[in-house]
Structure 1
């Protein structure tokens, strides 16, 4: 093992990887001790965060082994951080003991053998503080193993004079955390939280990830923190019902009006409550004394961010990632109920989707453009809340924009593009209408019998893709997920009906637009209305060319293609 002053166990985990990044950024040489197979995951994440890894060494370990599969003591190691744990409900008791209890003891004893040891910092949960002792693993192996380990470690350290500090973070809020509170927020977003478990006084504290890792990284520099345990949570966290109301207001969804005692929720079918029985034990009215933690934080120059901003940002990431199902766009989130992705101030392009897809349908085009782009879910569709008129909504979305972008509207998105270009020609450089529905055959498959909002809401991803005539992928998965949320399918059909009734009106408005306008269509979904505007046709595609031929669409948006279907197909194959 190369010379190193710090070693982090569990370095590929949610807290561990951020701790590695913090230590490297502050000039430490770090060994990341990982399970076999995790190396690429850690390196990839550090690269995404633009962390200089010159001082990083990666080694494979197994904390289930007494010597951690590391062998002899390592010269130069001063600080040992244990962030290794299995964090999951429904754990097998033996698995929980092996990693969270036995593994923690193995790390402690290995650290004690290091000749240059200054500190070992063990990271566990905020509810682990107590007397420890044998636990009932049948009521939740995850929490039982953490509580028991906390007591065992502190007893060994005291008996053998090992310089141990325990960090007890609450629900850590940051990119990549989808556990505990995340499930409550996800159920809220999907309309699956009719009532809130607990009471008006239930307290589920949260803490910012950056606060946690900066605190943990700095603790070994303070000698007086040896032998101490520090609860890490933001005391300004509101009680759970108020917290959920704050998030609901941000997401523009209804908050639960009632609370149910957890004892009652445990007796109800899980299919009805959508609550993990093991998670219910975390819903308590307990409060925690953080006064000593705050003193240490001030000495280290660490402060909590505003908790309301933290929760809103966290809710955005849960929605963007579908609660961890995919990697979210880093800039996706809500502003005044509108779901926006990308550059909100200086975009070169503004992309507006059609029905029934959402802003995710532009993802491949955005990659091809490789330029600042703002994409939005239209009001009442996708993830955006219902709003007033389409024109007023566009003014709100475009309010911070300082550039004169190319305004792109696909299908029904053409309505929004035309409305804004007509009202504010000085703020748009050019308009591109992709498959403008008002100049094409009506989308009869969506409007007429036998399809209905209820039928579409229940459609599988595969069936929805087949109906749209496009391949399965994230765009269809996102559309299906949104259509299943309460009210979205109904609003989608209402918008389609209104759009169908306004074809002549929007055609007349288009004739009054003074900025340059061009049209892009697929050969399989041609225009049926005459137009004097320039039209580019892409071969072998229909109503969603941005999904089937993103390279060709991007080329047209950049102004590189404006020609026949055959030439477009050949030049972008």
Structure 2
């Protein structure tokens, strides 16, 4: 084999395997359970040169294929471990890999992944003060260096900082999760706290190049231009449309306060430091290899979007591509094709754009599906919803089908009346203004605190739909500050505008189609084509997505601009 990668199912390891395979290398991935192959396939990586082998580095290694290069990306990255648990992988496991690799005939390089904080450590590992994770990484670093000298093994240590990218949900991600959910009233650390980052893609490319360089170098791989922590958090807050904390709390104070008060894991506090790190060798190596880090600020924004899309590891993204965009002066969560969508999908309440994921899976063309202004993952509105919708659709270059559900039917109807040249057809799904008064969930007297606390199972019962990922996504957003209140306000506004919407329906100059469930029928006749889906209620997208998609595909294709 060209390379053996230990810890190949981990966040760093799997990205490294993907990079090596893309370069045409023969790779043996040493794993305990093969979750790697499905992940590689999902990333579009050809696994024809991949060999999966079973290995547990906590035990002496035997029976593995020989290779020119050996990478140890394995590590127990978790807080709250016992010293025994942490040392089993981060110390004993690292030495087991070294012993096995050093005995290989023709070994070119052993690349061991350590940690960037080892440069700040002094003396002996401090399991009591630093915690088992950091102390074991420090002890493992010292042990691997010493044993490699004894064995004269061709060792290169790589010490990455906080590695960010899709799938990374620990460490700094936890701080961003608190920021997103309004649970970060003050920032831990000080104004000069430095938590450097490196993207997983860059680190994988760096690691793939390491065996080509002379042995003996040890590299701290991190972006020296990473903003200081207060600016880092402020950058993410601005990008996602949430409020950044204005105060900091010194680490010394946090250490003295009970965890139940601070919410901070004591083991994370040692990472909140103003220390800088010896990156000269890594920067010189990268320059020689033609590697260039992506701008730190842009990498942080992209990672924040990945975290939000995946609910910080609790779910998988429902629609893609995704991200925050400036629409009518506010940060808006937008998914799908922004320039030439076949369908523009506007969700009803109390949902978000994920409501349309089951239907989008059955549509032939691309879709554009935002979270409405102030709802879901979108920030509070700066302008009225009509101005927001007009600005959202301003980049669209064709004439798509505009599809709206429930309370979104009003804004969609007004857009169709004002801009008939911008869309080819208007589809109203469960238009609330043509149906009986809303069910219990949407009654005007519903309290905001109840909406904020509503569990996915109860929300599903109230909506009359299965408790699927779309309902869980909506429930998660309702727990965010302000979203439940704005949802209730939108529901009340929609109820007031029922008569106005009914009057506008006769002024639309584009074809109009209406889709409802038989359990939630129209109570007002319109004269427009009507599709009634048997057995469906107010949310046919969730209960009968294939039927809804079939109705949306009816009629002429979107007209080119």
TM-score range, shorter chain: over 0.9
Distance 1:70 1:132 in 2: 38
**Residue equivalent to 2:459:** 464
SS at match of 2:291: coil
Partner residue of 1:53? Answer: 47
Q: Provide the residue aligned with 2:92 in structure 1.
A: 102
Report if aligned partners of 2:158, 2:218 keep a CA contact under 8 Å in 1: yes
Q: CA deviation at 1:204?
A: 0.7
Give runs of aligned pairs for residues 16-415 of structure 1, distance below 5 A: 16-35=13-32, 37=33, 39=34, 41-66=35-60, 68-70=61-63, 74-75=65-66, 77-129=67-119, 134-139=124-129, 140-223=131-214, 226-328=215-317, 329-336=319-326, 337-387=331-381, 388-415=383-410
Deviation at 1:447, TM superposition (A): 4.8
Equivalence map 1:399-438=2 (5 Å): 399-438=394-433
- Conserved 8 A contact 1:5-1:78: yes
1:566 maps to: none
1:568 alignment counterpart: none
1:367-417 Cα offsets, whole Å, 9 max, x none, are: 122431111110111111122111211122222222322111010121232
Secondary structure of 1:216's partner? helix
Task: Note the alpha carbon deviations across 1:219-247, whole angstroms, 9 max, x for none.
Answer: 11011xx2222111111101000110110
What is aligned with 1:11?
A: 8
TM-score where L is the length of structure 2: 0.95
Is this contact kept in 2: 1:120–1:165, CA < 8 A? yes
Which SS does the other structure have where 2:316 is aligned? coil
CA gap of 1:190–1:409, structure 2 versus 1, over 3 A, is: same
User: Structure 1 553/502 Cα, relative in aligned 2: closer, same or farther at 3 Å?
Assistant: same
| CA offset digits 1:354-373 (Å, max 9, x no partner) | 00011111111111224311
Post-superposition CA distance 1:426-466 (Å, at most 9, x none): 22121111001111122252454762111111122211211
Gaps of 5+ in 1: 562-573
SS at match of 2:159: strand
* Kept after mapping to 1: 8 A contact 2:119/2:277: no
Could you tell me how far apart the structure 2 residues matched to 1:543 and 1:19 are?
Answer: 47
Kept in 2, the 8 Å contact 1:126–1:170? The answer is yes
- Structure 2's unaligned 5+ residue stretches are 557-561
Q: Is the 8 A contact 2:353 2:369 kept in 1?
A: yes
Cα 1:131–1:185 shift into 2, 3 Å: closer
Q: Distance in 1 between matches of 2:371 and 2:247?
A: 31
Structure 1 contact 62–69 (Cα < 8 Å) conserved = no
CA contact (8 A) 2:22 2:45 kept: yes
The aligned length equals: 549
1:496 corresponds to which residue?
491
Partner of 1:553: 548
SS of the residue corresponding to residue 304 of structure 2 reads: helix
SS at match of 2:421: helix
- Residue 55 of structure 1, CA deviation: 1.2
* Contact 1:132-1:149 at 8 Å conserved across structures: no
SS in 2 for 1:129: helix
RMSD: 1.7
Q: Does the 8 Å contact 2:375/2:487 carry over to 1?
A: yes
C-alpha separation in 2, matches of 1:152 and 1:133: 13
Instruction: Measure the CA separation in 2 of the matches of 1:6 and 1:58.
Output: 12
Corresponding residue SS for 1:412: helix
Using the TM superposition, give the Cα deviation of residue 508 of structure 1 relative to its aligned residue in structure 2, in angstroms. 2.6
Task: Give TM-score scaled by structure 1 length.
Answer: 0.93
Q: Determine if contact 1:133/1:151 at 8 Å carries over to the other structure.
A: no
Cα distance between partner residues in 2 of 1:346 and 1:44:
32
Q: 1: CA distance between counterparts of 2:137 and 2:74?
A: 11
Deviation at 1:306, TM superposition (A): 1.3
Q: Cα distance, 1:120 vs. partner?
A: 0.6
Does the CA-based 8 Å contact 2:315-2:469 persist in structure 1? Answer: no
Structure 1 pair 496–186 and aligned structure 2 pair: CA distance change class (3 A): same
Distance 1:379 1:313 in 2: 21
- Alpha carbons of structure 1 residues 510 and 308: separation in structure 2 relative to 1, 3 Å: farther
For each residue in 1:105-130, what CA deviation from the matched residue of structure 2 results, as whole angstroms up to 9, or x when unmatched?
11111111110111010112211236
